[in-house]
Amino acid sequence: MNKKRLLSGLQPSGELTLGNYCGSIKQFLEYQKEYDSFLFIPDMHTITVPQKDSNLIAERTRKLAAIYLACGLDPDNCTFFIQSEVPAHNQLAWILECFTYMGELNRMTQFKDKSKKYKNIGCGLFTYPVLMAADILLYDTNVVPVGLDQKQHVELAREIAQRMNNKFGDIFVIPEPIIPTIGAKIKDLQYPTKKMSKSADDANGSIFLLDTEDEIRRKINRAVTDSDGKVWYDEENKPGIANLLTIYSVFENIPLKSAIERFEGCERYGDLKKAVADSIVNALKPMQEKYYDIIQTKLVDEVLDKGRERANKIASEKYDIVRKLVGFGR
């Protein structure tokens, strides 16, 4: 029996963070065997906001592929590819743009947030969720594991797919987002009500997957908490501690409830911080060692070449069907 399809990706817009691991990579690891998994690198999304150095995009793309492999994603189960090497993504995006309403894109919270940060906003930032819909719909994707901030975009992809199916017949599979029960929105260590992000202004707020042990311990030690002095989980009133408990539960691979129980009665934030840092370091160290081996080899390019072939075949066939249905060509 054919496996169902999974597709997801991480933008090479900065160094990957702990948030990306918890919201996304951890889910890929869990589901990679169950699904025919397409894990791609959406590099075209990166230029929706100004980039200081465009050479960094290609470098980060390669690093990201090496991180996928070092985390244990298996090229025998997964197809890894780079979005800009599969032209059907932007070809389909154009068609989908013509079937997406301005009002829908205006409601995207990520657009609202990001457009406040920049002076001159490119149209790509506005239409980006449609390119993301194309990414998903080209592959008859059944499930899209993402963190909470991307749920609205996957829901838009569903809307667009349904609209196209109503007009042209059953072209697209309707994708389902999968959001992790814990770790769907890891917070910034310095501003624990905000999302941890690759592009945060203060690097102390984010732990990057390639940070050294010292950096990890230092950032966790400096994480903003509160003056209450008791470890317990209260997202609203103790966001810093709630975030640390969440990170601990993800990296220890235990339910949040068990993480909370482990620190019951603990009155020293230092103890919690040490346990969280130990847990992150233990999980990331083996991945980092593999990463530095893999990045030296040809494996990354071999895997991406193979992925490009498969992705192009599937995506171009789908695009061809849609292209004809909307009335193009002979």
Active site members: 114, 195, 198
Q: Using an 8 Å Cβ cutoff, are 8 and 133 in contact?
A: no
Q: Using an 8 Å Cβ cutoff, are 178 and 146 in contact?
A: yes
Q: Using an 8 Å Cβ cutoff, are 173 and 161 in contact?
A: yes
Q: How far is 100 from 130, CA to CA, in rounded Å?
A: 8
Among 186, 281, 284, 294, binds ligand TYM (CB under 6 A): 186
Q: Does 37 bind ligand TYM (CB under 6 A)?
A: no
Which of 247/324 has CB closer to ligand TYM?
247
> Quick check: helix, strand or coil at residue 174?
coil
Q: Using an 8 Å Cβ cutoff, are 16 and 287 in contact?
A: no
Which of 54/289 has CB closer to ligand TYM?
54
Among 6, 28, 42, 280, binds ligand TYM (CB under 6 A): 42
Binding to ligand TYM (CB under 6 A): which residues in 299-318? none
Which of 141/225 has CB closer to ligand TYM?
141
Q: Does 5 bind ligand TYM (CB under 6 A)?
A: no
Q: Residue 156 has which token pair?
A: 């838009």
Q: Does 19 bind ligand TYM (CB under 6 A)?
A: yes
> Quick check: helix, strand or coil at residue 252?
helix
Q: How far is 319 from 292, CA to CA, in rounded Å?
A: 38
Q: Does 241 bind ligand TYM (CB under 6 A)?
A: no
82 forms bridges with which residues in the sheet? 41
Which of 150/249 has CB closer to ligand TYM?
150
Q: Does 20 bind ligand TYM (CB under 6 A)?
A: yes
Q: Using an 8 Å Cβ cutoff, are 14 and 52 in contact?
A: no
Which of 152/266 has CB closer to ligand TYM?
152
Among 5, 6, 11, 189, binds ligand TYM (CB under 6 A): 11
Q: Which residue is nearest to ligand TYM (CB)?
A: 23
Q: Using an 8 Å Cβ cutoff, are 185 and 149 in contact?
A: yes
Q: How far is 57 from 15, CA to CA, in rounded Å?
A: 11
Binding to ligand TYM (CB under 6 A): which residues in 122-151? 132, 135-136, 144, 146-147, 149-150
- Would you tell me which residues interact with ligand TYM (CB under 6 A)? 7-11, 19-20, 22-24, 42, 45, 132, 135-136, 144, 146-147, 149-150, 183-186, 195-196
